[in-house]
Structure 1
Amino acid sequence: MTEQQVFTIASIPADGVGKEVVAAGRKVLDAVAEHSGGAFSFDWTEFPWGSAYYAEHGVMMAPNGLETLKDFDAIYFGAVGWENVPDHVSLWGLRLNITQNFDQWANVRPVKFLPGVQSPLRKADDTELDWVVVRENSEGEYAGLGGRNLSGRGPGNEMAVQTSLFTEKGCERIIRFAFDLARTRAVKKVSSVTKSNAQQYGMVLWDEVFARVAADYPDVATESVLVDAMSAKFVLHPEELSVVVASNLNADILSDLGSALAGSLGLAASANLNPERRFPSMFEPVHGSAPDIAGRGISNPIGAIASAALMLDHFGLHAEARRLEAAIGATTASGHLTRDIGGTASTEETTEAIIGAFVGARAAV
């Protein structure tokens, strides 16, 4: 008998609806494991870090938090941000603290158009759309380099410098990651996004590295597009997209645009990967903590559950990941839609529907 695989997962629900959607995702993943025939299971450890923790301790996570997390197989994250903590403090104190220190340099954000979910794009009605944004996740505009000074001169005289960092190594590894991903897709194409006409140093370096790396992938089509033109392309010609690779800031913005075009940020999944597996990778929905609906049981769990599917892929459980994605599609197609995508289903109802669709599909295999 094959020994059961046990995956150790650090759960960090953090703030707002993060608590609800992480609970939903955990329930789904446990159901997936339950129907694996004993092949694998998940061992969960939940951490109370976030804005409530900050209110009590003055920090977003425990001082030894990174040391505690490093031995887990993966991290399952909810959402961060609340009115008692400035946004830059909450972000750098928890999420970016993890992604930066664990060198989770590849952020993968699929853009999925689900059946039964109305897109604001007319083209989505009769065109198959499916692309993924690959975001450089360790440097670029979010490197955290810079500072503020001269406040002693009085009001209106302070200065701030925020420096973008582009290294040849950082550019090359994310661009190669994008090309390798493109080779696994039906449409083998990589679209590189910069603003190198205006940012003539860091992003010209990116362009040069992209051209050099592309030569190693003659089977993959390429294009280089300025970020403003790519924003328009997301709306006007999304059928031309497959893998879009961009810097930290540009990919952050573009991936949210893609998810909005798919119908809601509540649908959007993401993976923060350390591809070398020196550290655990982290999986999280793209949406925020949504204080206006937190605690009401109406948040959309699909982004978190789709992120769980990305976690399954990371563990090599590809068949289970595909079945879970299919279960999500079957659920939206059957009309189980939360309020953000035009329905009335609760978080719990949507979660149970996805589990039911997964179990039904598993039984039919």
Structure 2
Amino acid sequence: MAQFGCGGPRCTCLVTAGPGVVVTGNGSAGAPYVVEAGVAPVSCDDVRPCLSAGPGATYDPDTGVIGAEPTVVEAGDRVTVTGDGTPADPYVVAADPVSCDDVRPCFSAGPGATYDPDTGVIGAERTVVEAGTNVTVTGDGTAADPYVVNSAGGDGVATSVEGGDGVTVTGAGTVTDPYVVSAEPPVTGCGLTGDGTAGAPLAVATAAWPYDCPPEDSGTVVVCDTDGVLRGEPRGQVSFVSYSETRDYPDLEVPTGTTPTDVDTPFTLEVTNPDPCLPALVLVEREADVDFDLPVGAGAGYAQDTDEMVYLRNTGTTAIQDTHVQTTKLYQHTLSLAPGATATVNFPVRLSRGAGGATYNRIQVFIRALLISQ
């Protein structure tokens, strides 16, 4: 302490104890100051400002009194609360008793039951059993006297069971000899096998498939008609139609070009498939014949469509009158003509390569169609 102006045998510095602190010694080497805390008592005024009240508690900083806020319990509908919540007189929460008047409106009677909301009495409706034809009913339906239903009527007539077509009835209708109703096995004819039982059901008698192709791909269809008769697919049909026409001309000049040229409207034939069930393949045969007059050195030709069929030339020394050659062609006109449908077969006869004054005076055609339904 001498560094700060203290001299002599003790220090002249002043050390004062504050609240809760004790100072001893005089600051000399032999009796240095000793500062101690906690020895002096803490006053209530020092502690009380450090505390405050939280939820459910009370605190008075002037007196230091700490208390608990009382729990509040209120009674709701149909509930009572007694006591003040202390250990000596705790709260007691009790439910009010339920009265019959409160409960009875909650119930009502359903099928087979009765209910009186004024008295609360629940009962069961009595089952009613009435006797029908050839039946008698005795008893009142109670446990002591239950209903007894018998099959014999009041006139004593017993139940009668008769067998109809294909049915047999045996027995007398009693407990020891009851009625037994049995079906007679059906009588089968051609095309059916089995007797109609579970072990041998009725079935169509079929033969083995003798072909290499699977029946699922190539087999025909068998159906039952409106008369209950099995029928196969319709048979195919073959039909034929023919047409012929001749047209005369006043010695007209044959076209000179090398490309066949129309000299008249085409000849036509309407072909109708007469089969009501199956489509038809249509094969057509066409014939043409043209009469030419050919002076010396003249030439002429004719074609079916664009196919030149005949070319004639006069290489002699005299004129040729009404020379002609008849040609024919066969081709597939329609692969599948629908049942009842109609197709038009056109036949244009065309002329070409007329030279040297060649003329024509007649064209004759034949159109024949073969229809094969399949």
TM-score, normalised relative to structure 1? 0.15
Structure having the higher helix fraction is 1
Q: Larger % of strand: which?
A: 2
Structure showing greater radius of gyration is 2
